[in-house]
Structure 1
C-alpha cells in the first residue's frame, strides 16, 4: 500500500485527516502489508496531524513492526523533523505510563 500524501494537499494539518489515514495504515499493517508513506509535494505537516497519523500508531502497534513494515519517501527536512519529534514524544509518554 502506498499513501500519496501530496494528492491530499501540500500542507496537512488536521487531526481528523490524520485519524482517517491512521485507520487505513493500521489495517494494512495488521494484515501483514507493507506501507509506503510518499510525501512528494508536501511542504509541511502539523504536529497534530503527525501525532494522530503516526504517533498514535504506537498505541496499538509495536514500533519494530511499524519500522520493518513501512518506509518514508520524498520527505523534506521539516516533515522528517515533525514526524521524528512526534514519534519520540509519543514513545516517551508510553514509557512513562
Structure 2
C-alpha cells in the first residue's frame, strides 16, 4: 500500500442521486482501498441525495468500521448542505453495526 489517493467523485459515480449508483461508487471506492492506504474523495461541492449518501458513504463506513473509516477515508469539498447528511448516515450505519454485534 502507498499513501493517500485522491478520487474525484464524478470518476466513480455518474450522478449522486440513487442507491444503485451509490452502491456502484462504494464498490469502486473499496477497490481503491485495496491498493492505497487511504483515499481522499473530492465531492467538488456538489450536493448528494440521502439515498446516495447512505448507500455509498454510510455503507462504506459500516464496512470499514467507524475507526477504520476515519483513518482511511477523507471526504473533501462536501457541500454545506451535504455535511450534516453525511455525518448522520455514517453514525447511523456504524451504530447499527454496533447494535448487531451486541
Structure 2-normalised TM-score? 0.76
How far did 1:38 drift?
Answer: 0.6
Task: Give unmatched runs, 5+ long, in structure 1.
Answer: none
Q: CA RMSD of the aligned region, Å? A: 2.1
Aligned partner of 2:19 in structure 1 is: 15
Aligned partner of 1:40 in structure 2 is: 44
Matched, 1:62 2:89: no
How far did 1:83 drift?
Answer: 0.7
How far did 1:12 drift?
Answer: 1.7
Aligned partner of 2:96 in structure 1 is: 93
Structure 1 contact 29–66 (Cα < 8 Å) conserved: no
CA distance in 2, matches of 1:17, 1:45: 11
How far did 1:53 drift?
Answer: 0.5
Matched, 1:50 2:65: no
Structure 2 contact 62–94 (Cα < 8 Å) conserved: no
Matched, 1:74 2:74: no
How far did 1:48 drift?
Answer: 0.9
What is the aligned length?
95
Structure 1-normalised TM-score? 0.80
Task: Give unmatched runs, 5+ long, in structure 2.
Answer: none
Secondary structure of residue in 1 paired with 2:97: helix
CA distance in 2, matches of 1:41, 1:59: 24
